Amino acid sequence: APSKSHNYRIASIPADGIGPEVVSAAIEVVNKLAQTMKTFKIEFTHIPWGTDYYKKHGRYVDENVLDVLRGYDASLFGSVGAPDVPDHISLWGLLLAIRGPLQLYANVRPVRTFPGTQSPLRSAKASDIDWLLVRENSEGEYAGHGGRSHVGQPWETATEVAIFTRVGIERIMRFAFTAASTRPKRHLTVVTKSNSLRYGLVLWDEIALSVSKDFPSVTWDKMLVDAMTIRMVQNPASLDVIVGTNLHMDILSDLAAALAGSIGVAPSSNLDPTRKNPSLFEPVHGSAFDITGKGVANPVATFWSAAEMLGWLGEEEAKEKLMRAVENVCEKGILTKDLGGTAMTKDVTKAVCDEIERLG
């Protein structure tokens, strides 16, 4: 919950791969922001969960993970995954071990093209891509239901059961309509696949229609997920807020990030909109082992995630200042390799700190 004292305690969970590089960069810029603005105080506490922790303790997180995180106002997370641990072990061991029990059911991913950077879409103007992706974060294909039988036999069978509940769909749909109602275009696109998935996604469609009645100011439409990929490429300006299932939005948000310029700038907020539990903020990208330790990771996705965190805590002005600093630095052409530049992580970090100081 936002603390009236403007005094925040943040759990920092850098974890694996480039996570520690981008999280420490983000802590640096947020500390600079706090020192310069003097309107809030923030203290980061390092939590060593991740693959090294797993190798030592046989588990990715502390046994009382929820009690630990409930001692903070929010968490800033890096990325999880290592080359020598199967991805499903690390992902379920850390990130999904937090998202589910804390009921961080709304995963919010703003996407836009920064000044000084370019969409790979030749025809797109910078302003064409300005989206807010809302990913259902607690059920669907990621609910963890399923299993394997006849292991090792030719007739071995695995099931992956997608779970959709009225409560789960309704709360994310309300969240998405509410988000759309606060944006200039006031438009929502509901992504489904209700032609072939005839139970869960038909329920999804029905609930979209009923919730829409409570939001007369929002225009909305429905897209099948396959057709949606075409629309994102061919008519990006027709989109505003987009809501979809856990799996669909996982995929569409990588596409969205790439269309906006790079996955290296894409932020995400894992929110408990009821504010009972502290929310978690993280870049969309993964641990990126191909560039780990080289000092070239783009820290902007984590800067933007930290800005979203500040906004969620109630520090709107700090959020705006951080985003302006990042935009100004991009506009000057201080860009990492993924955005076509030659700057290192530390160059971008220093430039953003300097810009924060200049903005005052």
Residues that bind Mg ion (CB under 5 A): 286
239's tokens? 């989109």
For ligand ATP, the closer CB: 200 or 286: 286
Binding piece for ligand ATP, criterion CB under 6 A, among 147-155, 215-223, 227-235, 290-298: 290-298
CB under 5 to 8 A by kind: which of Mg ion, ligand ATP, none does 168 bind? none
Name the E strands within the chain: 7-15, 41-46, 74-79, 106-112, 130-136, 140-149, 157-163, 187-192, 219-224, 241-244, 267-271, 279-283
CB under 5 to 8 A by kind: which of ligand ATP, Mg ion, none does 78 bind? none
Are the beta carbons of 15 and 51 closer than 8 angstroms?
Answer: yes
Is residue 87 part of the contact set for ligand ATP (CB under 6 A)?
A: yes
Residue nearest to ligand ATP (CB): 286
Q: Which of residues 47-66 bind ligand ATP (CB under 6 A)?
A: none
For the chain, first and last CA: distance in Å? 27
Closest of 178, 109, 89, 99 to residue 139, by C-alpha: 99
Are the beta carbons of 180 and 240 closer than 8 angstroms?
Answer: yes
Is residue 270 part of the contact set for ligand ATP (CB under 6 A)?
A: no
Is residue 130 part of the contact set for ligand ATP (CB under 6 A)?
A: no
Closest of 205, 203, 167, 202 to residue 189, by C-alpha: 205
Are the beta carbons of 281 and 11 closer than 8 angstroms?
Answer: no
Amino acid identity for residue 120 in this structure: P
CB 96 → ligand ATP: shortest distance, Å?
A: 12
For ligand ATP, the closer CB: 180 or 296: 296
Q: 2 CB contacts (<8 Å, ≥6 apart)?
A: 73, 275, 312, 313, 314
CB under 5 to 8 A by kind: which of Mg ion, ligand ATP, none does 287 bind? ligand ATP
CA distance 33 to 41: 10
CB under 5 to 8 A by kind: which of ligand ATP, Mg ion, none does 291 bind? ligand ATP
Is residue 29 part of the contact set for ligand ATP (CB under 6 A)?
A: no
Show the binding pattern over residues 131-170: x = contacts ligand ATP (CB under 6 A), - = does not: ----------------------------------------
One residue of 110, 244, 264, 267 binding ligand ATP per CB under 6 A: 264
Where along the sequence are the contacts to ligand ATP (CB under 6 A)? Answer: 18, 79, 81, 87, 263-264, 285-288, 290-291, 297-298, 301, 336, 338
